[in-house]
Structure 1
Amino acid sequence: MALITAVLTVPSADAATGQPPDPPSATLAAQRAEEIRTTLGGEEAGSYYDAENRKLVVNVTSEAAAAKVRAAGAQARIVKHSLASLDAARATLKEQAAIPGTSWAMDPRINKVVVVADPTVKGKHLDRLTTATASLGERVTLSHSPHELRPVIAGGDAIWGSQARCSLGFNVVKDGQPYVLTAGHCAKAVQRWSEQMGGSEIAVTENHKFPGADFGLAKYTAADVVHPSAVNLYSSQGKHSSGGDDGGGGSGGGGGGGNMQTITKAADPIVGQKVRRSGSTTHVRDGEVTALNVTANYQEGPVEGLIQTTVCAEPGDSGGPLFDGDTALGLTSGGRGSCSQKGETFYQPVRAALEKTGAKLG
C-alpha cells in the first residue's frame, strides 16, 4: 500500500501592571498581533516577532497608539511611516513598475517597502523601476539580486507529471474526499500525477490558480494510497539551515521514508517566525519569515500575498509545505538563488488556499 505524506517544492509581564504575559510562541504572537491591529485604526504600521527575546513588536505612529500596544502586553515601536502610507507606495509600484523579475514587500523591521530586481531587469525596464522607486522617497528602498526570480518547478514526497516534478504540499479533504494541495504553477502544468516518473496515476488536477495566487488541488484517484496529514522529515535531515548541505539535495528523489511531522492546523505566520520547509529535491531546510503580503513578478505573471523567507529551495521543491511544528503555513511558490547560494523563497499562504478551494486539512 502506497504512503503519500505532505512535503513542500514556521517572559511574562510584570504582574503588578495587570498586563497579560508576552506570547510564548510565534503562532500566538501572530494571533495577538491581529487582535491588537484592530484597535489601532490608521496608526498601525506592521508587526514582527523578536524570536530571541520572545517578544511581539508592533509598529505604531503615535504615543497614544503605543500605549494601547503596551496595555495589550506587546512591545510598541514608534515609526515614521504608517501601514496606509506603505500600502500606497506598494499600489504605486503595482501601477508603474510591475516588471517581471521584481518583487516588493513591506519590511516592518525597517519600516520601508523593499524592492528587489533580478538580473533580467535592465535597460528601459530598469529605468522605469528606478524612476518609480525614486518617486516614493524614503518609503522605498531598491536593491539588486544576482539570482533570477522564478517558480521552483522541475522536478515533500515527489509527485510527478509528464511535464514536471513537484512536491506534495498538504493532504486535505474536500466534500469528504481526499485531495492533494500543492502549488498552482505545478497543477497548471500537470493534469495527471503519479508517485514516480512514468508511474500509475494517483491523482488528477481539479483546479488551480496561477498567476495571481499560487495554489492547486488534485483529487486522489488511487484507492491504495494512504494520505496522512503529515510532512516528510526525511529521517534526521530536519535541522539543516537553508544554506547547508543535507546530503540529499539535488537528488530528484521520490518518497522519503523518513520521520513524519503530523499537521493538525493551519495558520498565518508572522515576520520573525522560525519555519521549516520540506521538498523532494533539497529535503528539509529551515529559516525565518522576513515579510508578508509580498508581490513576486514572475515571468509568467505577478503573484500577490506571498510569504517571504530566508529558507532556500531548488527546482522540484515547488508545492512543498512550509510549516512550524504541527502548523501548516504555506506552499512553496518560487524564489531566488539556491541552497548553495543563500537563496530566499516565497510561499502561498495555506489558509488562503484552503479558503479559496473549500478544502480542509485531513
Structure 2
Amino acid sequence: MSHKRIPKRKAAMAAGGAVALGAAAVLLPSANASQDGAADDATPRTLRAADASGLSARLATELGDSFAGSYYDSAERRLVVNVAGGDAGMVLRAKKEGVTVRQVGNSTAALKSAARTLKADATIPGTSWAVDPRTNKVVVTADSTVTGANWNRLQSTVRVLGSGMATLKKSAGTFKTFASGGDAIFSRTQGGTVRCSLGFNVTAGDGSPAFLTAGHCGVAAEQWSDSQNGAPVATVDQATFPGSDFALVTYDDPDTQVPSAVDVGNGQSVEITGAAEATVGATVFRMGSTTGLHNGTVTGLDATVNFQSETGGVDTVTGLIQTNVCAEPGDSGGPLFTQDGGAVGLTSGGSGDCTRGGETFFQPVTAALQATGATLGAGGGGGDAGDASDQQPGAGQSGAGQSGAGQSGAGQSGAGEQQSDAGGHNSGPAYGSGRTRTP
C-alpha cells in the first residue's frame, strides 16, 4: 500500500508533528505508578491521578444520591469522596474501595439546585460558577467588569443561597475567550486576521482527517490555514458556541496524515492515547500558540461561564472544566492534556494572563467527541486514557513561550495585520449568539 506524504506546511498543522514521544520524558517526568494496597480494606490506598476518574465514576454509581463529588489529593495521592447522608454500610463500602470518605452537608442535588438558582437570577456577563468538591460548595466568581447593580444582584443571590452553600470571590481580570493552543491556525475575515490553535487531531465520523478546536473559533471563520497569509487547508464541519465551545474542522486534503500527538515545543511531543475525564485536584498541561506550555490544577467541574457577547448580551457556556492554568488571547482551541497522554479539554476562555495568573476554562474533549462523532487520531482512541498525573513537569513553566508552537503563534502575527482572537475581543468579527455552523 502506498502512503501519501503529508506536505511540510500541513505537517506543521498536525498537533504532534512527526516527533516521537521518546524525548518527552525529559519534559514530563514519569508519574509514580504506585497503587499500593492497604493494610486492610478500610485503609485509604495511594493511587495515580490517572486512576482517580474511573474509580470516582464507579463510586458515584454505587453510592447513588449519597455521592456528593470527589477530588484527588495530590499530596497524599488519594481519592477523597464526599458522602451526604447515606447509611453506615454505604460509607463502609466506599472505604473498602480504598478511598478517603468525607461526610458533607450538601448533596449533589442541592448543589445543582444552587447552580440553577444562579442561572435564573445571576446570569451576568463576567461571572462564572462551579462546584468545588473540596469545600462542598458552589464557588461563584465575578470578574473586574461586574460592578454596581450587577455586583449587588450577584451578592444578593449568593447571600440567599447561604454561606454553607455558596461563596463569592472577585477576579482581577476579565473573562474572555482566548483564541490559540498547540499549533497556530489562521483565517481571514472582514475584521482582519483571526488566530486560534489546533487542539487534537481526530478522525471524523466519515473517516476524514480532521481536528478539534474551540467553537468560538469555528463560528468566527469557516476556512483555516496553517500560516497567516497561506491558502486555506481545512474547513469547518461543525461548530457550536455558546452553550458549548467546540468545533470539528476537516482537512481539505483527504490524504492528510493526522498524528495523535501534541507538539510541546523544542522538538518534543506527547502522544495522545485516548480521551480522559478531568478530576478536581489533578495536574494538567496546556499548550498554546501564544504562551507555549503551562501546567496547573483542575479546580472545578461542570462550570458555567457568562462571557460578554459582541452584541452586548451574554454568551453562556456550560459543562466546562475550571483550572488555574494560565492562558492568553491566541490560546483558544488548544489542547489540555495529561502527562500520560490523555486528551482532556480544549481551551475556551478565562481571565488573567501568564504573568499574573488567573482562571481558565476548557471544553471537555469527551463531550466534543460524542457530539461530533469523531475519534482521536487516525481512527483510534475514543476511550479513557486515564487522568492527569500528580507529578509536576520538569520544564513546563520555564519552557513556555520558548517552544516551537509558542513562537509560531506569536512570531507570525505580522506587522500591519489586524490580529485578533476569534471572539473579536480586539478587532475580530462578531458572532451570533447561539450560532451553530454546519456547512
1:313 corresponds in structure 2 to: 327
2:198 corresponds in structure 1 to: 168
Deviation at 1:225, TM superposition (A): 4.5
1:222 aligns with 2:232: no
- 1:101 aligned to 119, 126, 134, which one? 126
Query: Stretches of 4+ moved more than 6 A in 1?
Result: none
Give ranges in structure 1 of 5+ residues lacking alignment: 236-257
1:246 corresponds in structure 2 to: none
Q: How does 1:280-359 map to 2 (within 5 A)?
A: 280-300=289-309, 301-324=315-338, 325-359=340-374
When the two structures are superposed, what TM-score results if normalisation uses the length of structure 1? Answer: 0.89
CA distance in 2, matches of 1:155, 1:310: 16
CA distance in 2, matches of 1:167, 1:43: 41
When the two structures are superposed, what TM-score results if normalisation uses the length of structure 2? Answer: 0.74
Query: Conserved in 2, the CA contact under 8 Å of 1:281 and 1:315?
Result: yes
Q: 1:177 to 1:19 in 2, by over 3 A?
A: farther
- 1:48 aligned to 53, 57, 71, which one? 71
Query: Conserved in 1, the CA contact under 8 Å of 2:37 and 2:46?
Result: no
- Name the % identity: 48
CA distance in 1, matches of 2:38, 2:343: 33
- 2:280 aligned to 257, 271, 280, which one? 271
CA distance in 2, matches of 1:40, 1:224: 48
| SS class of match (1:218) | strand
1:158 corresponds in structure 2 to: 184
1:251 corresponds in structure 2 to: none
Give ranges in structure 2 of 5+ residues lacking alignment: 1-6, 17-27, 29-34, 310-314, 378-439
CA distance in 2, matches of 1:22, 1:326: 24
1:59 aligns with 2:82: yes
| SS class of match (2:219) | helix
Deviation at 1:343, TM superposition (A): 2.0
Deviation at 1:125, TM superposition (A): 1.5
Query: Conserved in 2, the CA contact under 8 Å of 1:27 and 1:269?
Result: no
| SS class of match (2:52) | helix
CA distance in 2, matches of 1:323, 1:154: 15
Q: Which amino acid in 1 is paired with 2:258?
A: H
Q: 1:21 to 1:75 in 2, by over 3 A?
A: closer
Q: Which amino acid in 2 is paired with 1:263?
A: I
- 1:29 aligned to 52, 55, 62, which one? 52
1:211 corresponds in structure 2 to: 242
| SS class of match (2:350) | strand
- 1:12 aligned to 4, 26, 36, which one? 36
Deviation at 1:222, TM superposition (A): 3.4
Q: Residues 6-46 of structure 1, C-alpha deviation per residue, up to 9 Å, x if partnerless?
A: 28xx953434x346983632121110001001111221111
CA distance in 2, matches of 1:349, 1:58: 22
Q: Residues 268-304 of structure 1, C-alpha deviation per residue, up to 9 Å, x if partnerless?
A: 1100111100110001100110100000111131100
1:254 corresponds in structure 2 to: none
Q: 1:315 to 1:36 in 2, by over 3 A?
A: same
CA RMSD of aligned residues (A): 1.8
CA distance in 2, matches of 1:14, 1:308: 32
Deviation at 1:224, TM superposition (A): 7.1
| SS class of match (1:40) | helix
Q: Residues 244-274 of structure 1, C-alpha deviation per residue, up to 9 Å, x if partnerless?
A: xxxxxxxxxxxxxx21111110011100111
Deviation at 1:190, TM superposition (A): 1.3
Whichever structure has more strand as a proportion of its residues is 1
Q: 1:76 to 1:21 in 2, by over 3 A?
A: closer
Query: Conserved in 1, the CA contact under 8 Å of 2:158 and 2:168?
Result: yes
Deviation at 1:227, TM superposition (A): 2.4
Deviation at 1:153, TM superposition (A): 2.0
Query: Conserved in 1, the CA contact under 8 Å of 2:199 and 2:346?
Result: yes
- 2:96 aligned to 46, 57, 71, which one? 71
